[in-house]
Structures are given as structure tokens and as C-alpha cells.
Amino acid sequence: MIPEKQDLLDAYKAVKPWIHRTPVLTSSQIDQMVGASVFFKCENFQKMGAFKMRGALNAIQSLSEAQKKGGVVTHSSGNFGQALALAAQKLGWKAYVVMPKNAPTVKREAVKGYGAEVILCESTLEAREATSQSIVNDKGAAFLHPSNQMEVILGNATATLELLVDHPDLDAIVAPVGGGGLLAGTALATHYFGNHCKVMGAEPIQVNDAFRSLQSGKIEANDCTDTIADGLRTHLGDQNFPIIQKLVDRIICVEEAEIISGMKLIWERMKLVVEPSSAVALAAVLRDKANFQDRKVGIIISGGNVDVSNLPF
């Protein structure tokens, strides 16, 4: 059920020519605050500004040449829509991105800017799924899910693979968890390439479905989507949950105020533009710092796509 080490190496071979090898940055001030050595894998510097580029690139390349004429389709109002659009453009595929009518114009324009066709629908999960299915039926497009798709998970895993090549002796890696595609990939890469390294998920307490899912043993839903970490409002899926169950040590939940102050800290001290979802991971390490003392901790900075004209501080 769980992919093999070779599957990760194949994914890395597929995505490597198309991505940036993002840097790993550190901050002595943040190290001091945490009481640990923290290594930030900066996927905010990735093409289109987020790790999602890796999953999209791997997923498209896992399709057959025969599927190329139909193109690919996803539903996403966030980074995966842009990632699929750009990955498709680079690889010479047609891409359709289903977005809710109320998605910000800037996000629609970004997807179009990468050459994809945007199809608007009502702002419900049912409408998104039905509209995506109609593109599959009408255009013969292959549907790729933003987080609950093994090839996407394997592509995402390559960020952690690179981090562990640069820093093989990490004691722990913390990644934000929303749909679960990044956390599952992080856990897989750490399982095969880490050295007694633990993986923790970081989640806003407001949308702590992953935390509750690990407790109950089944995929739980969120009652609300009321968090500033807009990339983490979705819930786990049947592809990534078993990996998370098996390979993730625990989920650390954080308050909204901790997310905002973590974000400000990264901006001010590290001079990095990161999105709120990325700050959730630092907030988790700070909240749980007693458990990270004197350790080497990796943090996946998932992305930097944020409206700089509309900040929470």
C-alpha cells in the first residue's frame, strides 16, 4: 500500500529538470527562541511559489502519452491550480482548472497567466466535483487531485528528499497539514531517507481534522474553515491518510494568534515572504519547543503566495 523507495527516486528523476533546488535557510535568532537548530526548506522560492509544483509535475508525467490529447483537470482555488497550469504549460499539456466563482480575480488571472483554461462553478464541493467530472467526460481530461493522489504525494515528497540530502542528520521534520498531500510526502521521504527522524504535522486548531482523524482512526471533517491558513482548510483523503497514520509521529495544533506571530517572525527575522500555512509549522515548533530542545529540526516552508497588500499584521 505504501510506495517503495524506488517510487520516490523515480518521482525525483521526473521533477528534477523542471524545478528549483530550493535553499535551506537558518536563523540564529529563531534557533535561540526555540532552543534548537531549525532548518527551513524554502519552497516559497519554488517555481510558482509553492511545493505544489513538484506534485503537479510528477502527476502529469505519470500519465500515458495517449492521455495527452485530453489534457488534465483539477479543482483548486489555491496553489495547486496554478501549479498544474504551469506544470502543464512546461510539459506541453492542456490544463483545465475548476475554480469557485468567488475566487479572487488575482488567483484566476494567475492560472490563466500560466496558460490554463479556468472553468468557474458554484462554491460547493459538489459543484467543484461535478464540474471537474464534466470536463473529464467532455474533453477526455485526466483528473488530478490537489492532495489525495499518490503521484502528487510522491512529487511533494521530493522537497523533503532534497532537505535530507542537505541535512541527513535531522531529528525531526515538521510540515503543515491541510489536505495531507504534503505531510504524507514528507513522511514517506523521511521514512526512506531519514536517520531516526520523526515527522510531525502542524495544523491550525480551528481546522484540526488531521489531529482528530489520527485519534479516531478514520478521516474526520472540519466544522468550519475559519483559519487564516487558507491552504490548510481541506481534509485528509484515502490515499494520504494511511501513510500519515503509519508514518507520522503526531500532529501539533496551534492557535490563530500563534500562526500570525510565527509568520511575522519569519518575515522580520528571515526576510522571507511566506504564506500563513507555512508559518503554522514554525508556530508548532515554538509551541512544542520543550520537545525539540537541542535537536535538529527541519521545517517545510510550503509557499509564499500571499496578498502582500492584505496582511494580518
* Catalytic residue check, 52: yes
95-100/72-75 β-pairing = parallel
87 counts as binding its own copies under rule CB under 8 A: no
CB closer to its own copies, 264 vs 289: 264
Three cell numbers, residue 88:
502543464
Entry field: residues in the chain: 313
Residues 114-153 that bind its own copies (CB under 8 A): none
Which 8-state DSSP code applies to residue 116? P
Three cell numbers, residue 271:
526576510
Q: What's the min distance (Å) between Cβ of 303 and its own copies?
A: 9
Enumerate long-range contacts of 241-244, CB under 8 Å, 24 or more apart: 241/180, 241/213, 242/1, 242/2, 243/2, 243/153, 243/184, 243/187, 243/188, 244/177, 244/180, 244/183, 244/184, 244/187, 244/201, 244/210, 244/213, 244/214
Q: What's the min distance (Å) between Cβ of 64 and its own copies?
A: 30
Q: Where are the beta strands (DSSP E) in 35-168?
A: 37-42, 72-75, 95-100, 117-121, 142-143
309 counts as binding its own copies under rule CB under 8 A: yes
CB closer to its own copies, 196 vs 271: 271
27, 41, 47, 52: the catalytic one is 52
Q: What's the min distance (Å) between Cβ of 46 and its own copies?
A: 9
CB closer to its own copies, 8 vs 279: 279
Residues 5-64 that bind its own copies (CB under 8 A): 23, 25, 44-45, 49
27, 77, 132, 147: the catalytic one is 77
274 counts as binding its own copies under rule CB under 8 A: yes
Q: What's the min distance (Å) between Cβ of 270 and its own copies?
A: 8
- d(Cα 233, Cα 225) in Å, to the nearest integer? 5
| Site pattern 251..270 for its own copies (x: CB under 8 A) | -------------x--xx-x
- d(Cα 297, Cα 267) in Å, to the nearest integer? 19
176 counts as binding its own copies under rule CB under 8 A: no
- Site of interaction with its own copies (CB under 8 A): 23, 25, 44-45, 49, 264, 267-268, 270-274, 304, 308-309, 311, 313
Residues catalogued as catalytic? 52, 77
